């Protein structure tokens, strides 16, 4: 079947581009001797996780317990939830999962760690923990070296937890405007993490892993000695946000196929993909919602829930019923809206993958 024959809106993934992206990141990390633990919140799809593991990934990263459950069920044996897990219902599920696979989870306070330790002790399981450090994003994570060391000492006294590493997410890198700014931010982050790790090791803690994240950071973090593990996520598909940060346009593997449902006399073309098919991210100054792959002179100027507005400069040849593909601004939020993705090689649909962890935000 040709993808043009699909009903729309439909999420398409270009197999060749996906495979090239997987290969390139696997090579980047391998040639610098780094472990790759890709963030699966981007694709939420077991088939892609299997491809990442087959290409040498040491395990998966997820943000949510529900995602971890899906990937464990699909056979993934080593999962890091790079997030704080809080609340009785979740802790019950977490310790159950810890019997099924090697599980690590983030901690940045005793308020998070104590109930986790109690749940693990009650269930008779050991849970790996990694201490989250805020290196500039100002989201979760301990903010000072003193706070980190005090927390490590307190964790050592808690039963059934095993501290094996420190981690950060350098999401503030998304605000950097040039490679020079990115390099400076990474150098600062690396120094902070190296200094903390050295202090922890000196005080007797077995910190075997320093783990960092982010796709735009990968080419800067991969060569840094002392950073052991990269948790890039969005690299599998790339998107307009990554292109704005140096990824080649031809590496964008994900598109939303959409149908023209109305053509207005003023050259405005209305398609059947709005924010419920593409997500609402508008990170660009011009407020565009995506890019039309077939014709970049069409600007995706606005969207409501079920409608996308394309503006044609100087008229358009598009007619009602025509189909075009849209490159989303942000692949992760876009994928989460769809039940399945169609795997395309050239024009041919080769596979249909269920996005099994979509909507798993609990």
Ligand X SMILES: Cc1ncc(COP(=O)(O)O)c(C=O)c1O
Residues engaged in binding ligand X (CB under 6 A): 39, 61, 82, 169, 171, 213-215, 231-235
Nearest approach in angstroms of CB 223 to ligand X is 18
Nearest to 152, CA basis, from 188, 118, 113 = 113
Least distance from ligand X to the Cβ atom of residue 231, Å:
4
Nearer to ligand X, 99 or 139 (CB): 139
Query: How many CB atoms are closer than 10 A to CB 72?
Result: 21
* H or E element at residue 96: helix 88-98
Beta bridge partners of 62: 81
Work out how close the CB of 141 gets to ligand X at its nearest, in angstroms, rounded to a whole number: 10
Report the residue number, 135 or 275, with the smaller CB distance to ligand X: 135
Q: Which residues does 203 contact at the CB level (< 8 Å), separation at least 6?
A: 149, 152, 153
Nearer to ligand X by Cβ, of 79 and 260: the residue is 79
Nearer to ligand X, 260 or 335 (CB): 335
Nearer to ligand X, 231 or 240 (CB): 231
Q: Give the pairing type, strands 102-107 and 78-81.
A: parallel
Nearer to ligand X, 101 or 133 (CB): 133
- CA 359 and chain centroid, separation: 14
Closest CB 213 distance from ligand X, rounded Å: 3
CA atoms of 293 and 296, how far apart (whole Å): 6
Smallest distance, Å, CB 173 to ligand X? 8
Q: Nearest-CB residue to ligand X?
A: 213
Complete edge-to-edge strand list for the sheet that includes strand 60-62: 35-36, 229-230, 209-212, 161-167, 127-132, 102-107, 78-81, 60-62
Shortest distance in whole angstroms from residue 197 CB to ligand X:
18
């Amino acid at each position: 079947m040709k993808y043009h024959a699909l009903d729309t809106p439909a999420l398409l993934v270009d197999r060749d581009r996906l495979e090239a992206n997987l290969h390139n990141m696997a090579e980047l990390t391998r040639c610098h001797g780094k472990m790759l633990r890709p963030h699966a919140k981007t694709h939420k799809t077991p088939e892609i996780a299997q491809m990442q593991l087959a290409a040498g990934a040491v395990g998966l990263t997820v943000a949510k317990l529900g995602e971890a459950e899906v990937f464990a069920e699909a056979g993934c044996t080593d999962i890091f939830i790079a997030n704080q897990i809080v609340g009785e219902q979740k802790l019950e599920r977490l310790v159950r999962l810890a019997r099924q696979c090697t599980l690590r989870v983030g901690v940045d306070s005793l308020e998070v760690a104590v109930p986790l330790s109690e749940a693990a002790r009650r269930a008779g399981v050991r849970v790996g923990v990694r201490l989250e450090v805020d290196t500039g994003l100002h989201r979760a994570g301990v903010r000072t070296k003193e706070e980190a060391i005090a927390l490590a000492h307190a964790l050592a006294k808690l039963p059934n937890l095993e501290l094996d590493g420190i981690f950060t997410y350098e999401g503030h890198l998304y605000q950097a405007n040039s490679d020079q700014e990115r390099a400076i931010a990474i150098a600062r982050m690396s120094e902070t993490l190296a200094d903390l790790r050295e202090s922890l090791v000196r005080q007797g803690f077995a910190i075997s892993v320093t783990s960092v994240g982010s796709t735009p950071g990968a080419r800067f973090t991969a060569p840094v000695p002392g950073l052991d593990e990269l948790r890039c996520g969005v690299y599998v598909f790339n998107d307009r946000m990554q292109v704005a940060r140096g990824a080649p346009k031809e590496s964008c593997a994900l598109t939303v196929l959409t149908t023209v449902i109305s053509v207005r006399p003023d050259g405005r073309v209305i398609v059947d993909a709005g924010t419920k098919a593409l997500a609402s991210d508008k990170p660009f100054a011009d407020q565009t919602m995506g890019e039309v792959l077939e014709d970049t002179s069409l600007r995706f100027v606005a969207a409501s829930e079920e409608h996308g507005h394309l503006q044609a400069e100087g008229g358009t040849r598009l007619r009602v019923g025509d189909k075009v593909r849209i490159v989303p601004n942000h692949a992760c939020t876009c994928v989460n809206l769809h039940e399945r993705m169609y795997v395309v090689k050239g024009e041919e649909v080769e596979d249909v993958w269920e996005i099994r962890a979509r909507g798993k935000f609990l």
